[in-house]
Amino acid sequence: MTLATRWREVRSREAGRRGYFFLTPGLYALYRTFLVSGARHVKGRVLDAGAGYGAWRPVLTGRGDVTAVDFSAGDRPDVAADLKSLPYPDNTFDAVFCSQVLEHEREPAAVLAELRRVSKPGGTLVLTAPHLSRLHDAPGDYFRFTAYGLRLLAEKAGFVAEEVVPCGGLLSFLGHNVHALSLAALEPVPLVGRLAAVAAKLASPVWAALDRALDRDGLFALNWMLVARKK
């Protein structure tokens, strides 16, 4: 079993638990940025587009009525569907949340156009995408995004971009990979693996805090979070 496979198993097991977003500095930076900049925009009927392991469901639930959609039925979404062809009528959702999905789509512009279609007029899109990242989930890893690229894609799709903020930086990028590799390597050793997870969860906020102090402008942003509204 490869380290990548073990890391997927760790994420799948931890997804939905309170400590999931503390496993690595990269995950923690996404979570903290959402609480600071994205959470207030997520309410009403909410689409979790590309829900993956379902890690965000506990965070989104309580803020609205959440429907999780993913292409893979194996991840147990509420609905299995292609994000370029969603089984919903126009103007269905008050908010659309889409995290770390766009880089895996061959046609990101088509995905954004479809997310706009199912959004209500004035509805909100909260989207995250990577700027720095190792190759992952190959061969389905196609793009990286700048803040300007995300804003351009959103506006071409018919959204008005309100805010684009960095989620983590170079230290979080390095820390994410160190944590992921170490947790995957120690996964087969039950006691040591659990202790490593505890240590990782304590360290992640520290890495992310250092990033915020050293790179406030996002020159080395790990990810970006876009908040936009349907015209």
Q: Which residue has the tokens 């989620």?
A: 167
Q: Which residue has the tokens 């990548």?
A: 4
Q: Which amino acid is at 201?
A: K
Cis peptide bond prior to 139, omega within 30° of 0: yes
| CB within 8 Å of 8: residues ≥ 6 apart | none
Question: What predicted TM-score, i.e. pTM, was given to this entire model?
Answer: 0.94
Question: CB within 8 A of 74, min separation 6: which ones?
Answer: none
* Residue-level pLDDT at 189: 86
Q: Which residue has the higher pLDDT, 206 or 17?
A: 206
pLDDT at 18: 81
pLDDT digits (tens, 9 = 90+) for 130-172: 999 998 888 999 999 999 999 999 999 999 999 999 999 999 9
pLDDT of 225 over the 80 cut: yes
Structural domains present in the chain = 3-230 (3.40.50.150)
pLDDT at 73: 61
Which pLDDT belongs to residue 75?
64
| Lookup: tokens for 229 | 């509204």
Can you name the residues that pair with 69 across neighbouring β-strands? 49, 79
pLDDT digits (tens, 9 = 90+) for 212-223: 999 988 999 999
Main-chain phi, psi angles of 45, to 5 degrees: -85, 120
The string of pLDDT tens digits covering residues 70-123 is 987 666 789 999 999 999 999 999 999 999 999 999 999 999 999 999 999 999
Residue 65 has pLDDT above 70, yes or no: yes
Left (φ > 0), alpha (ψ -120 to 50) or beta: where does 54 sit? left
| % residues pLDDT > 70 (the chain) | 99
Closest CA to 84 of 53, 107, 51, 52: 107
Residue-wise pLDDT tens digits, 3-59: 888 888 888 888 888 899 999 999 999 999 999 999 999 999 999 999 988 999 999
